[in-house]
Amino acid sequence: MRQFAFWALMGLTVCSAPAWAQSDYSQPTAHAILIAEDEVVVSSQMSGRIINLPFDEGQHFKKGQVLAGFSCEILQAEEAVAVATVEGAKAELKNAQNLDKLNAAGALDLVLAETSVQRARAELEVARSRKRLCQIIAPYDGVVLSQDVRQFESVDASAPMMRIGRDAPLRVSIVAPAAWLTWLDRKTGLKFQLAGQAPAVEGKIDRIGASVDAASQTVKVEGILQGKDIKGLVPGQSGLVTFDSPAGQSQ
């Protein structure tokens, strides 16, 4: 019984250990997770069936390319109707203008014809705006991190479709003790070591949280990897970050 209590106490001690350590006096170390720059979840802007999904997970795309396309026969037909309505309204306006020159039409007829053209053009713009929802366009050069849908699948409006990230150097996300703020700044160098692999990748801190979590007394910190040995690293992987803290500073 005493032996069980001893090991239970040891397990509690290990589980309650903080998520950071100090490899030596001048180089504190913390756990870190790799994240992508401008990582966002792309959602469907309409309900419909996906007919075009050109990029798979891990593939890169350019700004302006189509990330997903929907079956939009109805919206295309609505646009065609709106175009025809504009042409008809313009013909009626032209006829009203000709009659006005011959004093064969009243001023009200001319105003109504002009208003019909304006209304028809507005309806055409609405139809074209709705049609633009048929495609999801890449907002920047990036990479598909994950996909939640497949081609020919039907989805609802606002349904998550994929997660994308900007084509940029990888970032590291760290939760650091607030006490490190006495020396940590946006120029602090770091080295990221992927668990069980070498070599370490160099980088630097460029974002520090504006507030400290009152319960844990920690602060969120992000850095950007600048080293050359980043081949094989992808968002979601974890490892250790070693900081280059100023010599003589107390951690």
Domain regions of the chain by residue span? 18-37+168-243, 42-69+135-164, 73-132
Cα(183)–Cα(25) distance, integer angstroms: 13
For the segment(s) 18-37+168-243, the CATH number from 3.40.50.720, 1.20.1420.20, 1.10.10.10, 2.40.30.170 is 2.40.30.170
Spell out the residues 6+ positions from residue 245 whose beta carbon is closer than 8 angstroms to its own: 26, 27, 28, 180, 183, 184, 188, 251
Q: Is the Cβ–Cβ distance between 233 and 172 less than 8 Å? A: no
Give 24's strand partners: 27
Report the pLDDT value the prediction gives residue 26, as an integer from 0 to 100. Answer: 57
Mean of pLDDT over the chain? 85
Task: Pull the structure tokens for residue 150.
Answer: 């497949």
Q: Which residue has the higher pLDDT, 230 or 65?
A: 65
State which amino acid sits at residue 111: V
Give residue-wise pLDDT tens across range 142-194: 999 999 999 999 999 999 999 999 988 889 999 999 999 999 988 899 999 98
For the segment(s) 73-132, the CATH number from 3.30.70, 1.10.287, 3.40.50, 1.10.3470 is 1.10.287
Give residue-wise pLDDT tens across range 67-86: 999 999 999 999 999 999 99
Give residue-wise pLDDT tens across range 13-58: 333 334 444 444 457 899 999 998 888 999 999 999 999 999 999 8
Q: What is the 3-state secondary structure (H, E, C) of 166-180?
A: EEEEEEEEEEEEHHH
Task: Quickly tell me which residue has 């992927």 as its tokens.
Answer: 194
Q: Is the Cβ–Cβ distance between 200 and 158 less than 8 Å? A: no
Task: Pull the structure tokens for residue 27.
Answer: 């180089």
Q: Which CATH class is domain 42-69+135-164?
A: mainly beta
Q: At what angle do helices 107-132 and 73-101 cross, to 10 degrees?
A: 160
Q: Is the Cβ–Cβ distance between 37 and 203 less than 8 Å? A: no
- Helix (H) or strand (E) run with residue 220 in it: strand 218-225
* Predicted TM-score (pTM) above 0.75: no
Q: Is the Cβ–Cβ distance between 55 and 61 less than 8 Å? A: yes
94: number of Cβ within 10 Å: 12
